[in-house]
């Protein structure tokens, strides 16, 4: 079994009456009902002329129709093109330039985009209304067919298009499965669509976000806690920005586990979460669009010595490599290899900067700096491009920022280079900034710049927007 439609069909056979998805409106869809929807849409899309190898741009709210439409396209051997939601219309245009399509699969107001975007003119229109009930469509996709074309965030340059085969997605599912395994019937609040795909194949219930994916900041602490309470959520998979929201309130006691990724989770945030939820298990997952997961760590496994090392500027502890991943460090850069590491981009010209073949193994250059300790655990130092050379040696973002967040009054910190100087932007409250300046100088920082708010990325609001930060500090 090396394709997702078959995995979903088997899950439906085994867990038919169990709830698969709970939508933002609170409606529940069982595994059996979702599979019926997949079959109906596959029949309808086939009737509309979709055939193996076709590409369809998908623009829908996160909900049952989205996942049913994806599975229907895959059943027919077609490729779903998924723009980055946080990028809005720009993301759609980037997607169409990188991966021209013959069909447009949309619902609601998104259907209007076909009239205003030249890249969609003349494409075949597909909607959830196209379903033909009571038809059986056997999957015609193969393991090596491209199932999905998605895009990097573009936070460090132009977004790159990534083509993922069914074989790749199943390898990623196998890599994630041990992390999400549980002997209990979990109910997961999932902010990352890839993990919903894993849950659909595993027979696990996923509660979908009730906030706009483009604006996670609309999930207030009270609303987030109420969503968890309303649906009896036992585990949450959230970016750090939403973990910050969770730390501002006491989440319901039945929330037992928090998985976080999509950006760094610093020790001070873990401490705040533990303060409001002492029994909450917190697991941080490090990965990238090209390789997820890479490493993971349970906060309970972080020792006092580890926290002291992070406070001294040794970096951010990411934990042991995930199953199926191999890590090597070259010139401080993290390189990864494995079955769930993307072997190349849709445009082969983009491979030159990120792919290396060493002794027959293809390695992906993450662009992140790091090191492995004597226990084989990975420590993150931040982006290679964020390295600043000083008279005291090289400064790496996470080394400085993790340490700074342990200082009194500091809520958030970001390292930047301005006019050749190392500048530390600090968001926080202090009766005097002299203490910050002295501590920063000991690390080799030239200047401390208190700011009202550090700008964050558009994707998960969990990584520093360094372009905006540089403009703010000038």
The string of pLDDT tens digits covering residues 233-247 is 999 999 999 999 999
**214 pLDDT above the threshold of 80:** no
Show the DSSP H helices in 142-230 as ranges.
Answer: 166-180, 193-202, 221-230
Q: What is the pLDDT of residues 25-55, one digit of tens each?
A: 999 999 999 999 999 999 999 999 999 999 9
Q: Cβ-count burial of 358 within 10 angstroms (0-12 exposed, 13-18 middle, 19+ buried)?
A: exposed
CA proximity to 103, closest of 78, 77, 123:
123
Kind and range of the H or E run holding 161: strand 161-165
d(C-alpha 313, C-alpha 381), whole Å: 9
d(C-alpha 228, C-alpha 283), whole Å: 18
218 pLDDT band, cuts 50/70/90, is confident
Q: Cβ-count burial of 245 within 10 angstroms (0-12 exposed, 13-18 middle, 19+ buried)?
A: buried
d(C-alpha 233, C-alpha 199), whole Å: 14
3-class SS of residue 413: strand
**Percent above pLDDT 90 for the chain:** 81
Q: Give residue 458's pLDDT.
A: 66
Within its chain, how far is the Cα of 88 from the centroid? 17
Q: Characterize the bridge pairing of strands 257-260 and 281-288.
A: parallel
Q: What is the pLDDT of residues 126-162, one digit of tens each?
A: 999 999 998 889 999 999 999 999 988 665 567 889 9
Q: List the 103-106 sheet strands across, edge first.
A: 124-126, 103-106, 55-59, 79-81, 146-151, 161-165
Buried b / exposed e across 129-164, counting CB within 10 Å, b at 16+?
ebbbeeeebebbbeeebbbbbbbbbbeeeebbbbbb
Spatial contact of 7 and 27, defined as CB atoms under 8 Å apart: no
Residue with structure tokens 């409606």? 27
Q: Give residue 130's pLDDT.
A: 96
213 pLDDT band, cuts 50/70/90, is low
**286 pLDDT above the threshold of 70:** yes
In order, the DSSP letters of 301-337 are G--HHHHHHHHTT--EEEEEEPTT-EEEEETTEEEEE
Within its chain, how far is the Cα of 352 from the centroid? 24
- In degrees and rounded to multiples of 5, residue 143 shows phi and psi of -60, -30
Domains in the chain, CATH or no CATH each:
4-169 (3.40.50.980), 390-473 (3.30.300.30)
**298 pLDDT above the threshold of 90:** yes
Q: What is the pLDDT of residues 343-400, one digit of tens each?
A: 999 999 999 989 999 999 999 999 999 999 999 999 999 999 999 988 778 999 999 9
Spatial contact of 257 and 234, defined as CB atoms under 8 Å apart: yes
d(C-alpha 3, C-alpha 165), whole Å: 9
d(C-alpha 422, C-alpha 176), whole Å: 38
3-class SS of residue 110: helix
Is the N-terminal amide bond of 329 cis, ω within 30° of 0? no
3-class SS of residue 389: strand
- The mean pLDDT value for 411-428 works out to 93
The pTM assigned to this predicted structure is 0.92
What is the average pLDDT value for the chain, to the nearest integer? Answer: 92
Neighbours of 396 (CB within 10 A): 24
3-class SS of residue 222: helix
Q: Give residue 469's pLDDT.
A: 86
Spatial contact of 460 and 240, defined as CB atoms under 8 Å apart: yes
d(C-alpha 11, C-alpha 71), whole Å: 13
Spatial contact of 124 and 105, defined as CB atoms under 8 Å apart: no
């Amino acid at each position: 079994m090396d394709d997702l439609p078959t995995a979903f069909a088997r899950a439906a056979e085994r867990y038919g009456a169990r709830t698969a998805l709970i939508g933002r409106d609170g409606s529940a869809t069982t595994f059996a009902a979702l599979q019926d929807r997949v079959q109906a849409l596959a029949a309808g899309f086939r009737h509309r002329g979709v055939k193996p190898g076709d590409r369809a741009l998908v623009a829908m709210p996160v909900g049952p129709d989205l996942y049913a439409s994806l599975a229907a396209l895959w059943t027919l051997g077609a490729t779903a093109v998924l723009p980055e939601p946080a990028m809005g219309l720009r993301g759609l245009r980037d997607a169409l330039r990188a991966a021209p399509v013959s069909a447009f699969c949309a619902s609601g107001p998104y259907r209007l985009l076909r009239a205003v975007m030249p890249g969609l003119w003349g494409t075949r229109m597909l909607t959830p209304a196209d379903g033909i009930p009571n038809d059986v469509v056997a999957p015609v996709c193969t393991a090596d067919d491209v199932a999905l074309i998605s895009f990097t965030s573009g936070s460090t340059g132009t977004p790159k298009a990534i083509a993922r085969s069914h074989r790749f997605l199943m390898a990623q599912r196998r890599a994630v499965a041990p992390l999400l395994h549980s002997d209990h019937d979990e109910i997961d609040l999932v902010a990352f669509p890839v993990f919903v795909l894993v849950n659909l194949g595993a027979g696990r219930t996923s509660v979908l976000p009730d906030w706009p994916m483009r604006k996670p900041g609309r999930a207030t602490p009270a609303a987030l806690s109420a969503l968890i309470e309303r649906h009896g959520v036992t585990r949450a998979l959230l970016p750090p920005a939403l973990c910050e929201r969770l730390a501002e309130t006491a989440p319901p006691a039945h929330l037992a586990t928090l998985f976080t990724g999509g950006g760094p989770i610093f020790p001070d945030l873990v401490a705040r979460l533990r303060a409001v939820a002492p029994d909450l298990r917190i697991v941080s997952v490090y990965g990238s669009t090209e390789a997820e997961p890479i490493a993971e760590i349970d906060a309970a496994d972080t020792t006092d010595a580890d926290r002291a090392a992070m406070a001294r500027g040794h970096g951010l502890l990411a934990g042991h490599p995930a199953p199926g991943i191999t890590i090597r460090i070259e010139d401080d850069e993290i390189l990864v290899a494995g079955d769930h590491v993307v072997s190349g981009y849709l445009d082969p010209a983009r491979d030159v900067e990120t792919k290396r073949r060493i002794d027959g193994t293809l390695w992906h250059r993450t662009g992140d700096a790091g090191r492995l300790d004597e226990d084989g655990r990975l420590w993150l130092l931040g982006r290679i491009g964020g390295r600043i050379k000083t008279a005291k040696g090289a400064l790496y973002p996470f080394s400085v920022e993790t340490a700074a967040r342990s200082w009194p009054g500091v809520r958030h910190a970001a390292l930047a280079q301005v006019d050749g100087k190392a500048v530390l932007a600090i968001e926080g409250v202090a009766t005097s900034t002299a203490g910050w300046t002295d501590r920063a100088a000991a690390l080799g920082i030239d200047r401390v710049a208190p700011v009202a708010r550090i700008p964050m990325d558009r994707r998960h609001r969990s990584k520093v927007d360094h372009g905006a930060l540089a403009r703010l500090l000038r």
